[in-house]
A = this chain, B = another copy of it.
Amino acid sequence: MLTNMSTSLHHRAIEHLGTRIVGGSLPTGHVMLAEQLEDELKVSRSVVREAVRVLQSLGLVETTKRVGIRVLPPHRWNPFDPQVIRWRLASDGRGAQLRSLAELRSAVEPVAAELAAVNAPDDLRRELLEVSLAMRDAGQAGDVPRFLELDIQFHSLLLSGSGNEMFANLVGQVAETLTGRTVHGLMPDRPRDVVLQWHLDVAKAIFTGDAAEAREASSMIMRQTISEMEPVWMEQPRVFVPVPRR
């Protein structure tokens, strides 16, 4: 066996194929043979087979006897899988992916805020309040990296505090969205005062258990976020997936 290095062969194989499929260099309908992948990746059958099985479970490929490994169309991919999202963010589909995530956030966060106001444990409410205060300080001081860190912290706490496991699972994706925004230079040097105030409003409302106010303030943040990020995906066309007939 050749030098295996840090990451496992299995992981590397998945990464290699995943990026190529999602990136588009292996187009929909493209057929590969397992043996051919062995040669290409210089790994054994077991590695290829295990990698293909994982990609199959993500909806990226299907295997058919007598045919081979076929790349499936994008609408078959599991759009909620963290790996798929990561691969898309690293590809041309980055804009469309960020739009999807931003819209998902804009849907989920106000409801999460509402739920957190009703259900969140006390220490989490307190921490949320502290973070929102720290955000104000960092924001007014123009400390962008610190602000980003706290921003992620804030929204993570909010989503976790909802007590909905699906919402809580979106923290990773939200972090991607937020960092993506700064990376794209879409953040003003100094966050707007209203945005800081809205974050404070959300934290206070959750602290006092005011669900309606929490939702409202969160909606404001989301509206602002979307309008700031819109340039990223402006030219990206929307795709309408056919609804499965029965």
- A contact face: mostly helix, strand, loop, or mixed: helix
Q: Considering only CB atoms, which chain B residue lies closest to A172 in the complex?
A: B244
How close is A198's CB to chain B, nearest CB, in angstroms? 18
The number of residues on chain A lying at the interface, defined by a beta carbon within 8 Å of a beta carbon of chain B, is 56
Q: Using known A-B contacts A164-B103, A165-B100, determine if residue A121 contacts B171 with beta carbons closer than 8 Å.
A: no
User: Using Cβ atoms and an 8 Å threshold, which residues of chain B touch A178?
Assistant: none
**Interface-located stretch among A22-30, A46-54, A188-196, A200-208:** A46-54
Give the interface segment out of A34-42, A73-81, A138-146.
Answer: A73-81
Q: Which 5 A-B pairs have the closest CB atoms?
A: A163-B238, A80-B80, A107-B111, A156-B243, A50-B53
Residues of A bordering B, CB below 8 Å: 10, 46, 49-50, 53-54, 57-58, 74-75, 78-83, 96, 99-101, 103-104, 106-108, 110-112, 115, 119-121, 124, 149, 153, 156-157, 160-169, 171, 238-244, 246
